[in-house]
A = this chain, B = another copy of it.
Amino acid sequence: MTIGVDDLQYKENGLLPAVIQHFETNEVLMVGYMNPEAVRRTQESGTVWFWSRSRKELWHKGDTSGNVLYVKELFTDCDQDVVLVKADPVGPTCHTGARSCFFERMPAAIAVQPGIPG
């Protein structure tokens, strides 16, 4: 069974999160939101469209900056409420000029898996 745009679960405000990952390095570049029309345009154009929550309008990533995201593979998750796009980015993805939006490190305890008893 192929999962289509209308099979996805749009929960908060009719949107779902879309994780954008570099298709070669697997680096997570950004997370945006899509409504059904943004998913449809992403599927049809092969470039990433979002719904801008602040501007309340469809947003073709790269229209202003030139930093388009070309779709390489598209996935959804086991309950169909998130989309994952493996993409080939033109230039930096973040509006700050960074390659990825996830450059802000937060403190956390670093844990290790318990060893297997010997």
Where the two chains meet, the residues of A that have a C-beta atom closer than 8 Å to any C-beta of B are 2-4, 11-13, 17, 19, 21, 25-28, 30-31, 42-47, 53, 68, 70-80, 82-84, 88, 90, 94-96, 98, 101-113
Contact A111 B71 (CB under 8 A): yes
Contact B17 A28 (CB under 8 A): no
Chain B residues with Cβ below 8 Å from A71 are 108-111
| Chain B, residue nearest A69 (CB) | B111
Q: Which of A73, A96, A98, A109 has the most CB of B within 10 A?
A: A109
CA distance A108 to B77 in the complex (A): 16
Contact A108 B46 (CB under 8 A): yes
29 example contacts (A-B, Cβ-Cβ < 8 A) are as follows A3-B104, A3-B106, A4-B107, A11-B53, A17-B31, A17-B82, A19-B19, A21-B26, A21-B28, A25-B26, A31-B82, A43-B106, A43-B107, A47-B111, A71-B108, A73-B105, A74-B105, A75-B102, A75-B104, A75-B105, A75-B106, A76-B104, A77-B101, A78-B103, A78-B104, A79-B101, A82-B101, A82-B102, A90-B113
